[in-house]
Structure 1
């Protein structure tokens, strides 16, 4: 391997261990993303300081309607575009500072075409019917608007100063959804944070985030002491082991969610995230929610689990680095 950094005790560094895991298991897109984020400044083989290789790999998932498909989000298989695929693509583009231009214009046209009557996005568009998808992602004929799908997309577009007609009603939907949240669950809160972190109205976003932080703590939607997992409930409908931690909400210090946690709580969370790196160098996939029949689902298909772990691994490393944890 090109990267052979070691810890003070002589063991391979977290990045070196993850590099081996990525070359062994990852799709081309995640290999290119890893090279961009962790090899580009080291002179290692495969480094991609420009992001061109990442964008080329991402383009392979593009569809004729301007969206993204082909299992970009591993739990949704098949060639059709889906809002969750688009959200994934925008996160990739944002991470390489290319979330703009004609590519995003095409994405916004796709988003307009699949929006619900109130201008927002469904979690799963009915076009998924007939293709494999995770049992905890049911396909319905007339899906409702979902903050889970809409919030991250709207937040990223605002963060990158994209202006498109689609954003007006979608932004209004997100504000209404966030303001009405009273009882929630971790993934919905994460989607709300993704929206608020990019929302242009910063005073309103800060006030909304402060209220959500109180909800997270009062409803015990965060595990504040990873050493005492049994003391914290898993959210209703989530699979056993589906705990969420401070770092799941505050993925970077500049996130509004960072103010929800003390320095000690954040440190414990990041310590736990560091320890979660497995022997093979990758991070585990968080257990997903239950099926509509109540049966816990973890790894519903071999391919999706294999493809998801490098994605989770890259995001774990990016979170640790954003919070100043040494990786090499």
Structure 2
């Protein structure tokens, strides 16, 4: 079993402090130095637009200033990690935006035309407007309405639940981002729906997660993405692969203390190299350190309990 030395942990902490975005610095402080949830939420506010939605590059591969449902879901991932309350204006405005988008489209589009106005990863390029429910980010967003139902003007959960279970009962493996959205939904969904989703996800996880360590250096569904903590619902299902993935991450730390993205845009190389790649390094370093700490893979370090 490989572990990260305290010296290498400190090198990673220095990288976060010196190079990560402010929101990722604040999340790191929340995890490891008893930082406040309010500080994380304050760092999210600059990404929020007048319409309440989130844009402005919170997702580094998607750099449009305009609000999008997917960028708003990314911001809400941060908010949920620190237990953000409905009372916070950031949450109220973000959820109102998602409600407005649903009223306009009847679902939450993954892509919008404004994406093409600025540099972006090739997979984010907008070609045509979707006209039906998209699991990514729709399933995840339904989870946020479970967490913050106060904004709803009518009970839409029966409609939404029919949509998500129709998807889960379909044939074939789930695409990894769809599977992650279902998993985030399950985290926020009350029983018995939570267990029903996890049970339906289980056979998909076996085929969606990439278990071959030789493939982890390229973009794929790493086991730790689906079980970032030992108490994750699928930690036991992926136990052997998780141990291997933890060893792999310990060995993947860069000399500057960071963990780098294992993908590239395929276009706009200057923006990728000078901005997005560096932002992702901060995000991944915080994420990896938290996971290594939770699995007790950092020597002599116990993260603060929240």
- For Structure 1 versus Structure 2, the TM-score category normalised by the shorter chain is 0.7 to 0.9
Q: CA deviation at 1:184?
A: 2.4
- Matched positions, count: 293
Residue 244 of structure 1 corresponds to 221
Q: Residue in 1 aligned with 2:135? A: 147
C-alpha distance in structure 2 between counterparts of 1:39 and 1:99, whole Å: 21
Matches for 1:201-240 after TM superposition, within 5 Å: 201-202=191-192, 204-217=193-206, 219=207, 221-226=208-213, 229=214
Offset at residue 137 of structure 1 (A): 0.6
Indicate whether 1:74 and 2:46 are aligned.
no
Q: Does the 8 Å contact 2:122/2:267 carry over to 1?
A: no
| Counterpart secondary structure, 1:152 | helix
CA contact (8 A) 2:95 2:148 kept: no
Superimposed CA distance per residue, residues 275-303 of structure 1 (whole angstroms, 9 cap, x where no aligned partner)? 22222111121326x8xxxx799997221
Asked if 2 retains the 8 angstrom alpha-carbon contact of 1:118 and 1:173, the reply is: no
Gaps of 5+ in 2: 302-306
Structure-2 separation of matches of 1:286 and 1:298: 15
Say whether residues 1:124 and 2:114 are aligned partners. no
1:112, 1:119 within 8 Å by CA — same for their partners in 2? Answer: no
1:311 equivalenced with 2:283 (yes/no):
yes
Residues 83 and 125 of structure 1 are in contact (CA less than 8 Å); yes or no, is this contact kept in structure 2?
A: no
Q: Which has the higher helix share?
A: 2
Q: Which of 166, 173, 183 is residue 173 of structure 2 equivalent to?
A: 183
- CA shift at 1:96, angstroms? 1.6
Q: CA deviation at 1:173?
A: 2.9
- Counterparts of 1:1-328 in structure 2, within 5 Å, are 12-40=6-34, 49-101=35-87, 102-115=89-102, 119-144=106-131, 145-158=133-146, 160=147, 162-165=149-152, 168=157, 169-180=159-170, 182-202=172-192, 204-217=193-206, 219=207, 221-226=208-213, 229=214, 241-261=218-238, 263-287=239-263, 301-302=272-273, 303-326=275-298, 328=301
The higher relative CO (CA closer than 8 Å, separation ≥ 6) is in 2
State the shift of 1:89 in Å.
1.1
Distance in 2, matches of 1:93 and 1:110, equals 16
Q: TM-score, normalised by structure 1?
A: 0.77
Q: Per-residue deviation at 1:253?
A: 3.0
Report the aligned-residue RMSD.
Answer: 3.1
Q: Check conservation: 1:156, 1:195, Cα contact below 8 A.
A: yes
SS of alignment partner, residue 90 of structure 2:
helix
Distance, in Å, in 2 between the alignment partners of 1:242 and 1:178 is 23
1:91 and 1:156 in contact (8 A); partners too = no
* SS at structure 1 position matched to 2:279: helix
Deviation for aligned residue 1:154 = 2.4
Shift of 1:190: 1.5
CA distance in 1, matches of 2:112, 2:76: 18
**CA distances 1:198-254 after superposition (whole Å, capped 9, x unpaired):** 22233x44344334332332x3x323352xx26xxx9xxxxx822322211112233
Query: Residues 251 and 12 (structure 1 numbering): CA distance in 2 closer, same or farther, change over 3 Å?
Result: closer
* Structure 1 outlier segments of 4+, above 6 Å: 295-300
